[in-house]
Amino acid sequence: MKITNIQFGLVKAPLKTPFKTAVRSVDYVEDTVVIVETDTGNRGYGTAPATALITGDTHGSIQAAIKHQIGPLLMGLEIENLNKCVGIIQSSMINNTSAKAALEIAVYDLFGQLYRQPLYKLLGGGEPALSTDVTISVDYIDKMVADSLSAVEAGFETLKIKVGKDIGLDIDRIKAIYSAVEGRALIRLDANQGWTAKQAVYALGQLESSGVKLELVEQPVKAYDFDGMRYITERVSTPVMADESAFSPKQVLELIRTRAADIINIKLMKTGGLSNAIKIADIAQIHDVECMIGCMLESSVGIAAAAHLAVAKAGVIRKIDLDVPSLVEFDPVSSNVVFSGPEIALQDTPGLGIECIENLQMIEA
């Protein structure tokens, strides 16, 4: 099975409600779709969203990186030589992690098709079922409480609350939500780099002293502020999770070495795909550090790949944040991963089992 061509498309799906964080507000999911074709007729699918404020990638840069730099180096390579394919993807240029992720996902999809196994079995096997949290966007207190209660009624047992815009209001938001769902759902707090280290310590101290129990706080300070992350981790009881601070295996090693975070959030768009995500999971497991599997605001092709990884690495990836299929009005992707509210079930078709992507708009080469 040799790589013969790479095609591009765009897929778009509206959100049920706007997705609001400390850094942006989004009304729809839009992904570049990468289709890797082979001489056997098999096609591997990968996708990547434009996340200029997080990874630095736009749709234009993703497509250009693959079309002009990485893609030509893959032509004629055998899918069975997975390590060579992945090595070329990772070494062909620096950064551009979303472009690399989209290509890697497609190549791993083909690897599963080649050996007629679902991807999670080739990555190590496991129980093909997961349960995800759901995101509550930052908004007025009453709206966030109402959204939280609706999520609990829909069966979600863990809520990820977006904050990071106003420290005093953030504290009030969390207190109100905690009071409304206490005993019915766990709360994860995502500050999206919106606080300073001292603000984070103050806010978490206020919440802890008032009896609010949080499962974790995610990326309270800027991505580059490892010292700030450590400052917070040393001073609060709530576990601190690194997200934007944890792109590469080297960064994860530094976070662990300096004890700057208690938990690592793995996202394929940050790591450049599955190969580095696997390395990060293995590093974390060696050091007895728990991981979460997360995603960008992206289509369920990439999320399906993340789900396969989470099943295969369930010994260390024990927290799941793969909720985008629950946030969109419709899921245009049919794959071997079935999303139903908080429940995620993996089926046994080869690779990612992509059957179709509705409303896919192909892009002329």
Asked whether the beta carbons of 271 and 278 are under 8 A apart, the reply is no
Question: Which of these, 50, 58, 96, 31, lies nearest to 272 by C-alpha position?
Answer: 96
The label of the residue with tokens 């979460």 reads 292
How many CA atoms lie less than 13 Å away from 253 in the CB half-sphere? 7
* ∠ CA 107-111-114, rounded to 5°: 135
Beginning with the edge strand found earlier in the chain, give each strand of the sheet holding 43-49 in spatial order: 43-49, 25-38, 3-20, 361-363
| Structure-token pair, residue 297 | 């605001």
Task: Exactly one of 267, 270, 313, 319 is catalytic; name it.
Answer: 267
Centre a 10 Å sphere on the Cβ of residue 287 and count the other Cβ atoms it contains. Answer: 14
Enumerate the β-bridge partners of residue 190: 162, 218
Confirm whether 267 is a catalytic residue.
yes
143 a catalytic residue: no
Task: Compute the distance between CA of residue 244 and CA of residue 319 in angstroms, rounded to an integer.
Answer: 17
Give the active site residue among 100, 160, 162, 165: 162
Give CA–CA dist 351/356, Å, rounded.
Answer: 14
- Catalytically active residues are 162, 267
